[in-house]
Structure 1
Amino acid sequence: MSIPAVSSDADAPQASKARQTLLRRLADVVCLPASRINAFERAVTGDLLVDLLRLASVEERRRVAMRLAPLAELPNSLVRLLLRDEPTVAGPLIEQCASLTDVDLIGCARDAGIEHRLLIAERRGLSEVVTETLLSFGEDSVIEAVLKNASARLAQVAIEGVVALSRQSRGLCAPLLKRPELRPSGAYVMFWWCGPDERRTVLQRFAVSREVLQDSVEDLFAMAAAEGWSDPVTRKALQFIERRQRNRAAIDKSPYNGLEDAVAAASRGVTREIVGEIGYLSGIKPLTAAKIMGDAGGEALAILCKATGLSRLDLQTLWRAMRRPELTADGEVHPDWERVQITYEMLAVDRAQTVLRYWNWSLSSALTPALLRAIREGDEELIDEYSAPERAAMLALADNFGR
């Protein structure tokens, strides 16, 4: 039987029915096992099916996609077409087709819309290259879906990028803190813009002890002292590790008899000079002390007091000196003050010191002239991509420089 070159309008209904049947038959052929059809035959059949699908209805395309989703091998041309189709068509393949490669998913993410990226973000077993592509679009809903996907894998560079984004998109903080890839360096810098619940998570999960570090380098303190602390890199690292928090040498140069005396002086009025002295006596830089004293949530103040051995009464003195409320209008304990007291009680001294010292390390030791210029100008190209303190300082201090 010969096939006419052009069909008449009268033949359209019959052709439509024939097309539907042909779609099903060609899909059946593509689904045949390798013992019945070789790769070349499958590819040719896929090409024919692609041409038919271009003119098929959305429902017909969806049915074909559902029929093909369980296959272990699919013609590439067919995959490209269906993955870029309507979300209802692409969805079954994205969700169920195990044979999709990273190249297929990345191509779909780049060429299709946010609905497709959301579907991909929820797919099981996403690799680092796929998640990095999804995160690169900066879409909060997609990023949150990736973070909530427990089977997805994220590279460290991608996690660091999300940490930076979370500063503007606070809704990312909670799911980000649940990721196993997040490291203390990222959590400590996120602390500055996290809400109360997320801050508690940071302190409970990431305020680690330095006991193992201290035991492993105990003999190096005498060695470095014998060298006159001439190596600045070694000095900074050992300052981070050592058990003692307060700077005893600062007492000799201070107008105050000790840290408690400086805290008492603050109750008579907080000045830049007093904040600087509290910082010096606490073993941190004035910039770090200013950041802590200006923290809106107040938990950072509790960490400072616990790390330096200040009492609850000293904490209350500083709280009052900063003119922070202790009681509500109804005479109840103010939620902020209650939360700060709980933070003080829940943290062990060593763990509080770890957080405080990381802040000091990142907010002061990393502040090279190039980094200061980068913070002022917002030029991230000047930041060392391998330096955790520089990245932390860039994120934490940007607001202090009027960005």
Structure 2
Amino acid sequence: MPSRSESDPYKEGGGPAVANDLSPEIRDEAPKFQARHVLMRRLADVVCLPESRINAFERAVTADLLVEMLREAEVEDRARVARRLAILAEVPNSLVRLLIVDDIDVARPLIETCDALNDGDLFFAARHGKTAHRLMLAARKNLSSIVSDTLINSESLSVVEVLLRNAKTTLSQTAIETIVAMSQNEPSLVPLIMKRPELRPSSAYILFWWAETDIRRQILSRFGVNREIMQDMAGDVFAMAAEEKWQDATSRKALQFIERRQRNREALKKSPYKSLEAAIADAATLGMTRKMAEEISYLSGIKPSTGAKLLRDRGGEGLAVLCKATGLSKRALRALWKALRRPMKGPDGTTHPHLAEVLITYDVLGVDRAQTVLRYWNWSLSSALTHVMLRALSSGEEVELEGLSVPQRAAMLAFAQDLKS
């Protein structure tokens, strides 16, 4: 009969049965607790068994025990387990939560290749992981909008750039608006935002104010939609509103956006100028004053706050939109440029490059599309900007954008940019 020391695999110090289960590397290292390594491997084996061999409850309990052992394990051991889990169709949640925010070499196989992870697992990694984890998550295919939103809220430029380049992920409108706001201080985001299919006119019109010339032209070309369908559908509503004497402010603002006529005939009746062109010609001769700017705004059918934003526009493309929308000629655009004391000629005597770019923008714009952009700006930059928001802007107070309407967010971002410049 063999002695107990020869047959008992659980004797103190470990017997032949345990030692033979160790890999050559582990045997060479001669760890202090060989049983721990063997047990972790065995528990990982159990967790990885197919559904035909183990039910969900047995897998979960085994996983909980393995979690406790992995907390004290070496990085190599945790990485080995993570690699095995990454190919499973079902991964116990307790193991995922431990390993997915572990050292990046441990988390990598789960984040990059594990199809069994659900949105809750990925959300956990985005929320509790480090920048390295978020960068890896941002590159993952088929990322849902809830995970993308969490990654964007980290406000990490590198993470957002990877996310924008990932064509296999979905971005919510909230995410797009957040990134647009970020792009005010991070110009590298602007061309990446322009490539996203989720970008809508409301966000593009905001992006315009701090974009470069080529991007501005793309915005006006791509998002300068016409209003023919709205005009046809609302044709009889104008008469209804007139009968009600335009007392409903909500419908009045909407109809002002839809109507075909841009110039304000009522303002012309009260104006000392016989036309919008005459007002601009006078400004070109005498120089633009605040009173003249307000008069030009009223005659153009926009509020003075919108007009001021356009006249201050550093690039000048906003002036091209104003002139095309109101039916002004390129000659009038040049006069407006002169009124603002902007350079007309370059060093070689030809048209100044900035003015030349603005004239090109004028040429590529259609009247109706220019009117759509101008009226959206007027709607968002004036009608939506309340006295409370103006006071907050002037005093430097922070305003929670999520609580604002789309035009209010546009106004806050656009005018906040003026205060920074």
TM normalised by structure 2 equals 0.87
Point out where structure 2 has 5 or more consecutive residues left out of the alignment: 1-8, 16-26
Equivalent residue, structure 2, for 1:284:
302
Equivalent residue, structure 2, for 1:243:
260
Secondary structure of the 1:290 match is: helix
Equivalent residue, structure 1, for 2:166:
149
Equivalent residue, structure 1, for 2:24:
none
Equivalent residue, structure 2, for 1:257:
274
Decide which of 198, 209, 227 is 1:210's aligned counterpart. Answer: 227
CA 1:180–1:6: 2 relative to 1, 3 Å? same
Q: Which residues in structure 2 correspond to 1:130-279 (within 5 Å)?
A: 130-268=147-285, 269-279=287-297
Checking the alignment, whether the CA contact within 8 Å between 1:362 and 1:390 is kept in structure 2 is yes
CA 1:212–1:378: 2 relative to 1, 3 Å? farther
- Greater radius of gyration (CA): 2
CA 1:302–1:58: 2 relative to 1, 3 Å? same
- Which digits, 9 at most, give the CA deviation of each residue in 1:300-319, with x for residues without a partner? 01101110111111111222
Aligned partners of 1:382, 1:113: CA distance in 2, in Å? Answer: 26
Equivalent residue, structure 1, for 2:347:
329
- Match status 1:123 vs 2:140: yes
Checking the alignment, whether the CA contact within 8 Å between 2:14 and 2:35 is kept in structure 1 is no
Decide which of 399, 403, 412 is 1:385's aligned counterpart. Answer: 403
| RMSD across aligned positions (CA) | 2.6
Checking the alignment, whether the CA contact within 8 Å between 1:374 and 1:382 is kept in structure 2 is no
Equivalent residue, structure 2, for 1:350:
368
Aligned partners of 1:185, 1:344: CA distance in 2, in Å? Answer: 21
- Which digits, 9 at most, give the CA deviation of each residue in 1:138-167, with x for residues without a partner? 111112222222232233333222222222
Q: Which is further off, 161-170 or 288-297?
A: 161-170
- Which digits, 9 at most, give the CA deviation of each residue in 1:196-224, with x for residues without a partner? 23212211221111111100001111221
Equivalent residue, structure 1, for 2:101:
84
Aligned partners of 1:211, 1:385: CA distance in 2, in Å? Answer: 32
Deviation for aligned residue 1:250: 1.4
Equivalent residue, structure 1, for 2:393:
375
Q: Which is further off, 151-160 or 66-75?
A: 151-160
Secondary structure of the 1:230 match is: coil
Deviation for aligned residue 1:2: 2.4
Which amino acid letter does the alignment assign opposite residue 167 of structure 2?
A: A
Deviation for aligned residue 1:402: 6.7
Aligned partners of 1:126, 1:164: CA distance in 2, in Å? Answer: 22
CA 1:311–1:3: 2 relative to 1, 3 Å? farther
- Match status 1:99 vs 2:107: no
Secondary structure of the 1:245 match is: coil
CA 1:118–1:58: 2 relative to 1, 3 Å? same
Deviation for aligned residue 1:25: 4.7
Deviation for aligned residue 1:293: 1.0
Aligned partners of 1:338, 1:20: CA distance in 2, in Å? Answer: 73
Equivalent residue, structure 2, for 1:394:
412
CA 1:334–1:401: 2 relative to 1, 3 Å? closer
Checking the alignment, whether the CA contact within 8 Å between 1:298 and 1:340 is kept in structure 2 is yes
Aligned partners of 2:401, 2:393: CA distance in 1, in Å? Answer: 9
Equivalent residue, structure 2, for 1:308:
326
Equivalent residue, structure 2, for 1:37:
54
CA 1:20–1:329: 2 relative to 1, 3 Å? farther
Checking the alignment, whether the CA contact within 8 Å between 1:246 and 1:281 is kept in structure 2 is yes
Aligned partners of 1:365, 1:50: CA distance in 2, in Å? Answer: 58
Q: Which is further off, 97-106 or 323-332?
A: 323-332
Checking the alignment, whether the CA contact within 8 Å between 2:206 and 2:414 is kept in structure 1 is yes
Which amino acid letter does the alignment assign opposite residue 366 of structure 1?
A: A
Checking the alignment, whether the CA contact within 8 Å between 1:251 and 1:258 is kept in structure 2 is yes
Which amino acid letter does the alignment assign opposite residue 38 of structure 1?
A: N
- Which digits, 9 at most, give the CA deviation of each residue in 1:50-83, with x for residues without a partner? 3454454434433332222121111222212211
Deviation for aligned residue 1:39: 2.1
Aligned partners of 2:208, 2:80: CA distance in 1, in Å? Answer: 48
Point out where structure 1 has 5 or more consecutive residues left out of the alignment: none
- Which digits, 9 at most, give the CA deviation of each residue in 1:21-42, with x for residues without a partner? 6655543432221012222332
Aligned partners of 1:357, 1:18: CA distance in 2, in Å? Answer: 75
CA 1:384–1:81: 2 relative to 1, 3 Å? closer
Aligned partners of 1:3, 1:118: CA distance in 2, in Å? Answer: 48
Aligned partners of 2:44, 2:317: CA distance in 1, in Å? Answer: 62
TM normalised by structure 1 equals 0.91
Checking the alignment, whether the CA contact within 8 Å between 1:363 and 1:392 is kept in structure 2 is yes
Which amino acid letter does the alignment assign opposite residue 331 of structure 2?
A: L
Q: Which is further off, 16-25 or 354-363?
A: 16-25
Aligned partners of 1:392, 1:39: CA distance in 2, in Å? Answer: 50
Aligned partners of 1:158, 1:384: CA distance in 2, in Å? Answer: 11
Q: Which is further off, 254-263 or 11-20?
A: 11-20
Aligned partners of 2:350, 2:76: CA distance in 1, in Å? Answer: 61
| Percentage of matched positions with identical amino acids | 57
- Match status 1:72 vs 2:80: no
Deviation for aligned residue 1:98: 1.2
Secondary structure of the 1:243 match is: coil
